[in-house]
Structure 1
Amino acid sequence: MTAKPPKIPVSVLVVLHDGNGNVLLIERADCKNFWQSVTGSLEPNETPEAAAKREVSEETGIYLSDGQLCNWHESTEYEIYPHWRHRYPAGVTHNTEHIFSARINRQTPITICLSEHTAYAWLPLAEAAEKVFSPSNRSAILNLHKHLF
């Protein structure tokens, strides 16, 4: 088995919502009770928009149509948790996360990637903001109202 190449310290966060005050969260397989929105690192030569669409399809089975993805043109820099730094090039301690959202019909079938996630749930905004482990994810959920279209 070949080792994975180091992750690029640039990622995306995509808040999926139904337009009626509910957010889709997924639970990480590697950390019980770590709930989050769709996230993932960029691949070489990939734009944040392309990464956001790819991560949504990989993690939920949802393929976003053109115009469905809302780029907030905002990013957050955060310190990578020490137990996940081995995934990045030596010496990398921070990641830049680009924020997006997308409105999806709540009846859309969800197919989670079982190697990455164990469950999903639709939750009201306030409850979703409390459940996520990441401060940047919490902030994005609480600021979703600024980016509805």
Structure 2
Amino acid sequence: MRVDKPFKIPESVLVVIHTPEREVLLIERADAPGTWQSVTGSKDRDDEPFDETAIREVAEETGIVIGSAEVPREALIDWGLRNVYEIYPVWRHRYAPGVIHNTEHVFGLTVPRGTPVTLSPREHLAWRWLPWREAADSCFSFSNAEAILQLPNFLR
């Protein structure tokens, strides 16, 4: 029985963090070493706007502050892409009984080359910048890889 934490909301964000030169930041999951991904995270409350979820998750997972002088708020773009996928069985215990699907909202975040990254050690082990195609090939998640492959369509 779960008494310590409320169930996760099955609505989340995926944030593809990239430079103008199409380098993509990937982070390695602490709960699944060898598994690389972009920033992801669920809403904290039902009425939390997705852009707020993205801003919070990016700060929590990478230390990058959206809305700072280096990374202005306008650098975060809702790509208008949605992925509905089946939650991996290993992680379903985090959700209410019977919840097996999640809806993921995809954002892009442009940051300057050399932007410092500070990981949350309880969530991630390592980070790396890769050229966008190589980053897509390195993701364990099909939807994450597909989002990264869309990057050229969203660069200004």
TM above 0.5, yes or no, is yes
Structure-2 residue corresponding to 1:132: 139
Residue 19 of structure 2 corresponds to residue 12 of structure 1: no
TM-aligned CA deviation for residue 4 of structure 1: 1.1
Query: For the residues of structure 2 that align with 1:106 and 1:20, how far apart are their CA atoms?
Result: 8
Contact 2:22/2:151 (CA < 8 Å) preserved in 1?
no
TM-aligned CA deviation for residue 91 of structure 1: 0.2
Letter in 1 for 2:16: V
TM-aligned CA deviation for residue 98 of structure 1: 0.1
Residue 41 of structure 2 corresponds to residue 34 of structure 1: no
Q: Taking structure 1 as the reference length, what is the TM-score of the superposition?
A: 0.97
Letter in 1 for 2:146: S
SS at match of 1:46: coil
Structure-2 residue corresponding to 1:58: 60
Number of matched pairs: 148
Residue 114 of structure 2 corresponds to residue 107 of structure 1: yes
Moved over 4 A (4+): none
Structure-2 residue corresponding to 1:93: 100
TM-aligned CA deviation for residue 87 of structure 1: 0.2
Q: Taking structure 2 as the reference length, what is the TM-score of the superposition?
A: 0.92
1:83 aligned residue (87, 90, 103):
90
Cα RMSD between the aligned structures?
Answer: 0.8
Question: Any stretches of 5+ residues in structure 2 without a counterpart?
Answer: 68-72
TM-aligned CA deviation for residue 3 of structure 1: 1.0
Percentage of identical aligned residues:
53
Letter in 2 for 1:105: P
Contact 2:11/2:102 (CA < 8 Å) preserved in 1?
yes
